[in-house]
């Protein structure tokens, strides 16, 4: 059997990779993909701990997290399309009009 900690370590590693992606990448779509990686890592934690405690609540929460992630991806992509139409580029450095 695999102990719970293995799953938590894996999920921590995935979350860190997602965070690194959000910081490092200069392409808005890849930033959104990294956010999806982070949400998946959180889902894995929920399911693992739910299984550890023998309750099905972990899976119920992941159901809601997936739904929220879908809604957020849809709105995020619509924003990206609108931004791309405006500036013809997807680099975050082009949208610095509100910077000090």
Partner 1 sequence: MDVLAFYVFGAIAVIASLLVVGQGNPMHSVMLLIVSFGALAGLYVLLDAPFTAVTQIIVYAGAIMVLFLFVVMLLNVPREEPAPPNVSALLGPTGMRLGVVLSLLLGAEILWALGRVGIGWFTQGSSEKSVSSVALIGSGIFLRHAFAFEATSVLILVAMIGAVVLARREHS
Using the minimum distance from each CB to partner 1, give the nearer residue, 20 or 97: 20
Half-sphere exposure of 61 (CA within 13 A, CB side): 16
- By CB under 8 A, name the one of 35, 42, 60, 97 that touches partner 1: 60
Alpha helix positions (H), 25-100: 28-52, 57-87
Structure tokens at 7: 């799953």
42 binds partner 1, rule: CB under 8 A: no
Using the minimum distance from each CB to partner 1, give the nearer residue, 48 or 97: 48
- By CB under 8 A, name the one of 35, 56, 98, 100 that touches partner 1: 56
10 binds partner 1, rule: CB under 8 A: yes
35 binds partner 1, rule: CB under 8 A: no
- By CB under 8 A, name the one of 35, 42, 77, 99 that touches partner 1: 77
How many Å separate Cα 17 from the centre of its chain? 10
Specify burial of residue 49 (Cβ count, 10 A radius: 0-12, 13-18, 19+).
middle
54 binds partner 1, rule: CB under 8 A: yes
d(CA 46, CA 79): 29
Nearest distance in Å: CB 34, partner 1: 6
């Amino acid at each position: 059997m695999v102990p719970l900690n293995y799953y938590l370590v894996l999920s921590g590693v995935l979350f860190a990779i997602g965070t690194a992606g959000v910081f490092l990448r200069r392409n808005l779509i890849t930033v959104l993909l990294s956010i999806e990686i982070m949400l998946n890592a959180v889902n894995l934690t929920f399911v693992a701990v739910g299984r550890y405690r023998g309750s099905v609540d972990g899976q119920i929460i992941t159901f809601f997290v997936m739904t929220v992630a879908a809604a957020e991806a849809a709105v995020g992509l619509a924003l990206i399309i609108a931004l791309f139409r405006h500036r013809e580029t997807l680099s975050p450095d082009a949208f610095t009009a509100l910077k000090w």
